[in-house]
Amino acid sequence: MSKCSYRGDVVLDVKHETCCNVVHQDAIDRVGQLEVSVVEQLSESFKALADSTRIRILFNLSRRELCVCDLAEVLGMTQSAVSHQLRFLKALRIVKSRRDGNTIYYTCDDAHIIGLLQMALDHVTLTATHEGSE
Q: Could you give the percent of the chain with pLDDT greater than 70?
A: 84
Counting every residue written for the chain, the total comes to: 134
Domain ranges of the chain: 36-132
Residue 123: pLDDT over 60: yes
Fold category of 36-132 in CATH: Arc Repressor Mutant, subunit A (1.10.10)
**pLDDT mean over 79-106:** 96
Residue 2: pLDDT over 50: no
How far apart are the C-alpha atoms of 87 and 79, rounded to whole Å?
A: 12
Helix boundaries (H) for the chain: 25-30, 36-48, 52-63, 68-75, 79-91, 111-132
- Asked whether the beta carbons of 74 and 60 are under 8 A apart, the reply is yes
Supply the pTM of this predicted model: 0.73
More confident residue, 21 or 68: 68
* Average pLDDT of the chain to the nearest whole number: 87
More confident residue, 41 or 127: 41
Enumerate residues 6+ apart whose C-beta is below 8 A from 90: 96, 97, 106
Which tens digits make up the pLDDT trace of 31-78?
A: 888 999 999 999 998 998 999 999 999 999 999 999 999 999 999 999
